[in-house]
Amino acid sequence: MSDNSSPKPASPCELTAAFLILRLFIGLRTLLAGIEKFESGGNYSFANYYKNMARMANGITSASFLPLWATKIFALSIGYVLVAIGLAVLLGLKPRASLALAGLTYVSLSFGLMAVQENEGVAWLGIYVGLIAGALCLVKHSKFALWSDSNE
């Protein structure tokens, strides 16, 4: 006996819930990725941030073809960028734009890891990029945003 019924499409409520769950995950992950850049030995400070990011820039430069001036510019800004984008995604500030920026940020982080041949990190960031792409496909179901996109 075969069942010829096709699966029901997801309801708008289910799609809204799916988008909200993705948005919360992506926003929290991005925010915390930025905040952790300020940590050293369980303490958070701007001094820790600049020490950590200088070490990151030097490490990337020594293990790749990327020049120190470029890695320093990137490293010194990435924590602030992650915190700002994480908050924007979490709060629903222009969801389409903030998700697109999150995706581009994770692609740029992936490029740095590709340059130093850190394949495991690239794979993890690829998962985030895929989740962000999924969220962008569902962004039209955004109902809980503080500042919606103009064409939603």
Domain ranges of the chain: 26-141
Asked whether the beta carbons of 78 and 35 are under 8 A apart, the reply is no
Q: Is the per-residue pLDDT at 3 higher than 70?
A: no
Residue 2 binned pLDDT confidence (cut-offs 50, 70, 90): low
The pLDDT of residue 123: 97
- Percentage of the chain beyond pLDDT 90 is 90
Alpha-carbon distance of 68 to 73, in angstroms, equals 9
What's this model's pTM, rounded to 2 decimal places? 0.91
List all residues 6 or more positions away from 82 whose beta carbon is below 8 Å from its beta carbon: 30, 31, 33, 34, 37, 105
